[in-house]
Amino acid sequence: MTATLTAPGLPTAHPVTSLLTTAQQSLTMARRGLIKVRRTPEQLIDVTVQPILFTLMFAYLFGGAIAGDVTSYLPTLIPGILVQTVITTSTVTGVQLREDMDKGVFDRFRSLPIARIAPLAGALMADVLRYVIATTLTIVMGLIMGWRPASATGTIAGALLVIVCAWSMSWIFAFFGVIARSASSVQGISFLILFPLTFLSNAFVPADTLPTWLRAFVNVNPVSHVVTAVRSLAAGTGGGSDVALALLGAAAVVAVFAPLAVRGYMRKA
């Protein structure tokens, strides 16, 4: 500690954060998240093991019963399990955000003249990496097991749709993460919501085998629409209305939960 410290000056940056600086700050926060992932790769265990394990498990468990054999079940199962796995992955966002916020470093973020949404948006952007890994692994598993989607571009479009939907869902869990008292309670709430939402859908079984009251729920369940959209895209049969519905739902979730999460975050500040 020998050199003299630079004399303080009044800040040159204007405190009003523009959209561009907000985006830059969010990207910086996302980079921080990615550095953390690189340092602790073990936190990727759920997005690597779960897609492989679940795809194998469900295919061999239900394949014969539902579709006669495993290979004919795959066009139904892979899009379903893709949506289920990737959306489940998005709950981790809330848990990690809660853990992160309990550390001293978030005090510094809050004391900096930066956009309030940047620490949240950055964390959520870094999590896209998780969705990409889970999506890729599930699709590769399917291909190894003999899934042959009719349309390659459609499959990629379906994968992107799933990633967009998971990202928008993660705002819900970010909101829980911000308002909850502990990381484990975030996990509890998230699973309570996601378990029925992903299983009471058409992800694993055709909806027409279900009792009427359950079918009614499954048909309005947004997860079902995403699954149907991915199935149609992979099969090359369009699926326009379901894709539109899925994107609309994703936008609505972000529109509602992003402001809620930011407000909750600011209230803690």
Closer Cβ to other proteins, 11 or 211, answer by number = 11
Whole-number Å distance between alpha carbons of 83 and 138: 10
Closer Cβ to other proteins, 177 or 239, answer by number = 177
* Angle subtended by helix axes 70-89 and 222-235, to nearest 10: 130
Shortest separation between residue 11's beta carbon and other proteins, angstroms: 4
Q: What are phi and psi of 146, to 5 degrees?
A: 115, 10
**Residues in CB range of 263: below 8 A, 6 or more apart:** none
Closer Cβ to other proteins, 31 or 263, answer by number = 31
Taking alpha carbons only, the member of 242, 241, 209 closest to residue 223 is 242
Shortest separation between residue 12's beta carbon and other proteins, angstroms: 9
Shortest separation between residue 171's beta carbon and other proteins, angstroms: 21
Taking alpha carbons only, the member of 243, 215, 232, 58 closest to residue 154 is 232
Shortest separation between residue 233's beta carbon and other proteins, angstroms: 38
Residues of this chain that interact with other proteins (CB under 8 A) are 1-11, 13, 15-17, 21, 24-25, 28-29, 31-32, 35-36, 39-40, 102-114, 118, 181-182, 268-269
Closer Cβ to other proteins, 3 or 19, answer by number = 3
Whole-number Å distance between alpha carbons of 122 and 24: 10
Alpha carbon 229 to chain centroid, angstroms: 17
Shortest separation between residue 269's beta carbon and other proteins, angstroms: 6
Closer Cβ to other proteins, 5 or 220, answer by number = 5
